[in-house]
């Protein structure tokens, strides 16, 4: 059954202000995409005869790029986690939770 617009919301806590951006910035995914796109461009240029890419260069470059992407994801997660912990220890505001209702049982 669908909740009508006249019924009050049952979630506890204040409403979150809509973000300016549609999605959260994920630097690890950006770096992963750029590494894979660069690898695809390198192979496409090699297949098209524009340049020659040695086979022993691509695998280490791909692994290094994915390592950098993983490190960037870990750093971004650590920063978000630290910011959420700092916001949740404030005494005058609601907890910084994005996972839904925090109602006690």
**77-105: b (≥16 Cβ within 10 Å) or e:** eeeeeeeeeeeeeeeeeeeeeeeeeeeee
Instruction: Mark residue 56 as left, alpha or beta (left: phi above 0; alpha: psi -120 to 50; beta: remaining).
Output: alpha
Whole-model pTM: value is: 0.62
pLDDT at 1 over 60: no
**pLDDT for res 21:** 72
79 pLDDT higher than 80? yes
Tokens (6 digits) for 76 = 């971004």
State how far the alpha carbon of 86 is from the alpha carbons of 14, 89, 91, in Å: 18, 6, 11
pLDDT digits (tens, 9 = 90+) for 29-73: 999 999 999 999 999 999 999 999 898 898 999 999 999 999 999
> Tokens representing 60?
């280490």
Residue 16: the pLDDT is 63
- Dump pLDDT digits (tens) for 12-32: 555 666 667 777 889 999 999
């Amino acid at each position: 059954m669908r909740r009508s617009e006249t019924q009050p919301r049952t979630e506890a806590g204040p409403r979150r202000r809509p973000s300016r951006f549609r999605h959260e910035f994920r630097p690890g995914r950006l770096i992963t995409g750029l590494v894979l796109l660069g690898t695809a461009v390198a192979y496409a240029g090699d297949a098209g005869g524009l340049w020659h890419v040695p086979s022993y260069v691509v695998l280490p470059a791909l692994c290094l790029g994915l390592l950098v992407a993983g490190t960037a994801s870990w750093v971004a997660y650590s920063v978000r986690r630290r910011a959420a912990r700092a916001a949740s220890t404030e005494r005058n505001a609601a907890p910084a939770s994005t996972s839904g209702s925090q109602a006690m049982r």
